[in-house]
Amino acid sequence: MSRQRGFTLIELLVVIAIIAILAGMLFPVFARAREAARKIQCLSNVKNIAMAIQMYLTDYEALWPYEHRQEVMDGFHELRPCAWSGGIQGRVTNMNPYLKSPAILEEYIKNRDVWRCPSSRTATHYGILNPLGGDWWARVAEVPVDRWGCFGIGACAGGPFPPGWGGGITDSIAQCTSAVGGAGTDASIGAFIQQIAATALRETKTSQMTDPARWFVVGETGNYPEAASPFDLAYGDWMGYCGATAGSIECCGGSWVDWDNCSFSRDCGADPHMDFSNLETRKQYSPPRHMGGANIGFADGHAQWWSAEAILNASPDDPSRHWVFCCYGDPAVWDARQKRENLLLGFANGICNFWGDFGLPKGP
């Protein structure tokens, strides 16, 4: 009678080792395939928004407006006298819930989910401002200035959205909370999540867009309601990479930055000590969303993926400088870069022009 022979321990270990090797080879492939699918989904969303902006430009022959009421700007200056005079209009515009680009484009974009990106680690921080039958600015003025950020209704907090955008948060002032917390954490159930942003430029006429196919209008950025700089597009999660989601970066642990116990955290987040002029620092601590790049859309309605460094190299500013808080470098460097081939004129000047614009050449 024959006796069945089983596997020896050595044979089992060899089989397990082969399976482990194959798994190690295949898992990165699966991860890249998954990210490629996410990139395509996000590219589709960016294109839909670009086409909506193209339709808006066709209807109005210009980008959406600023806040122009003098009483609002005077009131802001009275409440926040430290604000520089040149930035008041942009700041109060950001605080007007009805001038948010997603709210303005709601007529053209019926699905708010197109403002999301599956690879984003952050989202815009904002609150819900309910005028309660009155004026939005009068409602803001009811809140002490030092509490604007807590409710997500201040300009630096991302500014508020109208009622109906915050899910369970219908009035941040009455409910004492933001609809979406800083870096996209603690979002209210059903709240609008913004991880793609339209240009920060406003009131630019279509006649000024000399080549719509090179004129940026929308891109991926998770920390701001509007895209103000080339770096925002290239490294969209750069100011919120710490503590955005569980495992988003080593030492954060899925919560806010541990400033006391994590050596790296003490120099990350909104703290400007990180030297983003260094390429390796950019790649290590603020990696682009999609395989080294990001999706951007243009005024003619088309969208495409660009590598992060290609976006910086095509911008009018010097990508080697220390990128922080959207202030740009030496005007002489600026002017020299503006004369390079395939660059559009953009950004009214080379220093701290937060509400600027720029264009990109046709190929990545």
pLDDT (tens digit per residue) in 150-174: 788 887 777 899 999 999 999 999 9
Confidence at residue 353, expressed as pLDDT on a 0 to 100 scale: 37
Tokens for 184, please give them: 């996209």
Which pLDDT band holds residue 292 (cuts at 50, 70, 90)? Answer: confident
Which pLDDT band holds residue 258 (cuts at 50, 70, 90)? Answer: very low
Tokens for 181, please give them: 């917390």
pTM of the model: 0.78
- 277 secondary structure, DSSP code: T
Asked whether the predicted pLDDT for residue 269 surpasses 50, the reply is: no
Beta strand ranges found along the chain (DSSP E): 196-199, 216-220, 226-227, 293-298, 303-307
- Report yes or no: 190 and 128 within 8 Å, Cβ to Cβ: no
Which pLDDT band holds residue 320 (cuts at 50, 70, 90)? Answer: very low
Asked whether the predicted pLDDT for residue 201 surpasses 60, the reply is: yes
Question: How far apart are alpha carbons 100 and 65 in whole angstroms?
Answer: 10
Which pLDDT band holds residue 277 (cuts at 50, 70, 90)? Answer: low
Asked whether the predicted pLDDT for residue 329 surpasses 60, the reply is: no
> For residue 279, which of 221, 320, 314 has the smallest C-alpha distance?
320
Query: Who wins on pLDDT, 319 or 279?
Result: 279
Confidence at residue 311, expressed as pLDDT on a 0 to 100 scale: 81
Confidence at residue 232, expressed as pLDDT on a 0 to 100 scale: 76
Confidence at residue 115, expressed as pLDDT on a 0 to 100 scale: 95
Query: Who wins on pLDDT, 10 or 127?
Result: 127
Query: Who wins on pLDDT, 295 or 244?
Result: 295
Q: What percent of the chain has pLDDT over 70?
A: 67
Q: How many residues does the chain have?
A: 364
Mean pLDDT of 22-38: 76
Confidence at residue 264, expressed as pLDDT on a 0 to 100 scale: 43
For 114-161, the pLDDT digits (tens) are 999 988 877 888 899 999 988 999 999 889 888 888 788 887 777 899
Asked whether the predicted pLDDT for residue 315 surpasses 70, the reply is: yes
Query: Who wins on pLDDT, 54 or 29?
Result: 54
Q: What percent of the chain has pLDDT over 90?
A: 29
Asked whether the predicted pLDDT for residue 262 surpasses 60, the reply is: no
Other CB atoms closer than 10 Å to residue 247's CB: what's the count? 10
Confidence at residue 343, expressed as pLDDT on a 0 to 100 scale: 54
> Checking phi first, is residue 312 left (phi over 0); if not, alpha (psi -120 to 50) or beta?
alpha
Confidence at residue 310, expressed as pLDDT on a 0 to 100 scale: 82
Asked whether the predicted pLDDT for residue 339 surpasses 70, the reply is: no
Query: Domain spans of the chain?
Result: 243-271
Mean pLDDT of 3-18: 77
For 53-80, the pLDDT digits (tens) are 999 999 999 999 999 999 998 888 888 7
Burial group, residue 182, by CB count within 10 angstroms (0-12, 13-18, 19+): buried
Question: How far apart are alpha carbons 220 and 284 in whole angstroms?
Answer: 19
Which pLDDT band holds residue 110 (cuts at 50, 70, 90)? Answer: confident
Asked whether the predicted pLDDT for residue 359 surpasses 60, the reply is: no
β-pair partners for 359: 215
3-state secondary structure 291-317: CCEEEEEECCCCEEEEEHHHHHHHCCC
